[in-house]
Amino acid sequence: MNEIRETALDLDAAGLIGKRRLGEYEELYRTDSRELPPEEIRNIRSQTLMSQAVLAAILNVGVSTVQKWETDEKKPAGASLKLLNLVRRKGTEILYI
């Protein structure tokens, strides 16, 4: 994430990306990556009215992965964890930027 942020700052300094896009990169950089317990993942999904299949498609993971997260067999990590935390904090509208 540090390298992506530095690249975005360099692109902004060169005038190649706008302030809005830079803000999006900054938001991703600041997004917390705290672990989410299985019940919180289920809550995120139910509050956003998503099936396991829809959440899996959005996060680009398999349905079985979402099932394993919700039964504590596996823990989300990396980009999936960041996106889950973003949806938890800001709702699904963050997915449509």
User: What band does 57 get if pLDDT is binned at 50, 70 and 90?
Assistant: very high
Residue 76: helix, strand or coil by DSSP? Answer: coil
Same domain, 18 and 42: no
Q: Are 88 and 33 in contact (CB under 8 A)?
A: no
- Amino acid identity for residue 88 in this structure: R
Q: Is pLDDT above 60 for 97? A: no
Instruction: Tell me the CB-side half-sphere exposure of residue 36, using CA atoms within 13 A.
Output: 28
Same domain, 9 and 26: yes
Same domain, 26 and 51: no
Instruction: Domain count for the chain, please give it.
Output: 2
Q: Domain range holding 19?
A: 1-30
Q: Are 63 and 53 in contact (CB under 8 A)?
A: yes
- CATH number at 62 reads 1.10.260
Same domain, 90 and 45: yes
Same domain, 45 and 85: yes
pLDDT digits (tens, 9 = 90+) for 13-29: 999 999 998 988 887 77
Instruction: Tell the residue number behind the tokens 């449509």, with chain if given.
Output: 96
